[in-house]
Amino acid sequence: MVLKLIKALAVDQHMKAILLLLLIGLSLTGYAQDQWKNIYTESAWKERDQWQRAEEIFSKLNLKEGDKVADVGCHEGYITVKMAKVVGSKGKVYAVDVQQSRLDKLNGILKERNIQNVNTVKGDYDNPHLPLNALNAAVIIDTYHEMDDHDDMLMHIKASLITKGRLIICEPIASDRRNLTRTEQERKHELGMNYALEDLQKAGFRIIFKQDPYIDREKIKGDKMWLIVAEK
């Protein structure tokens, strides 16, 4: 329909060519946005395997069979399901999200896959509602920027960890937004590593590893993800 309209316009061939190129560009942009719109849904898990480096992240947590861990901001459970396999039947994964619809979806996935060592938890933006002094590790992946009160969130997570329990935060930031203020970055659903480091140090965590960038998604999503490993 749009192509017919362009052809019918009373403009020269050069202008029609320009309009057609603009249309193609908008279509490709829309495709790219749609492609990544549901990046954390179950349907995108295979593609996510290509860049998330989940096994390396688990290694940095010293994750092992029998551990109790939390996936804070679990979405539909990509990390949760992988963690559940690592900690095994003697371990436990607490999958936390603020959206009940995501937890409902995850509960369905757990039932389909007969995964029985996961507890789904309806969290708040400043409190994940985790058991005290119980967890060996916790992860926050592409979710930290969404939280309302980072100080309270880190306080609660720290309280849930055992001594020397580890927390990993992994967040995206585009190269052209690294110098923006924290508020400006969070509006873009991103956060620079420097802000998270300040929060963690203020909360009394010990930083044992940091890397920026850790995951390069520049060609596929236009950003890079940094990673921090902190210890209670």
16 lies in the same domain as 47? no
pLDDT score at 174 = 92
125 lies in the same domain as 73? yes
One pLDDT digit (tens) per residue for the chain, 232 residues: 444 444 555 555 655 555 444 443 433 334 344 444 466 666 666 777 787 899 999 999 999 999 999 999 998 899 999 999 999 999 999 999 999 999 999 999 999 999 999 999 999 999 999 999 999 999 999 999 999 899 999 999 999 999 999 999 999 999 999 999 999 999 999 999 999 999 999 999 999 999 999 998 888 778 899 999 999 9
11 lies in the same domain as 126? no
- The alpha carbon dihedral of 43, 47, 51, 53 has a sign of positive
Number of domains in the chain: 2
Place of tokens 């757990």: 110
171 in Cβ contact with 150 (< 8 Å):
no
Place of tokens 């940091």: 210
31 lies in the same domain as 46? no
190 lies in the same domain as 205? yes
Which DSSP category does 155 fall into?
Answer: H
Structure tokens at 26: 């908008």
134 lies in the same domain as 205? yes
98 lies in the same domain as 122? yes
pLDDT score at 36 = 46
pLDDT score at 219 = 80
Q: Rounded CA gap, 63 and 179, in Å?
A: 34
What's the pTM? Answer: 0.81
Residue range(s) defining the domain that contains residue 12:
2-37
30 lies in the same domain as 61? no
Backbone angles phi, psi at 176, to 5 degrees: -80, 5
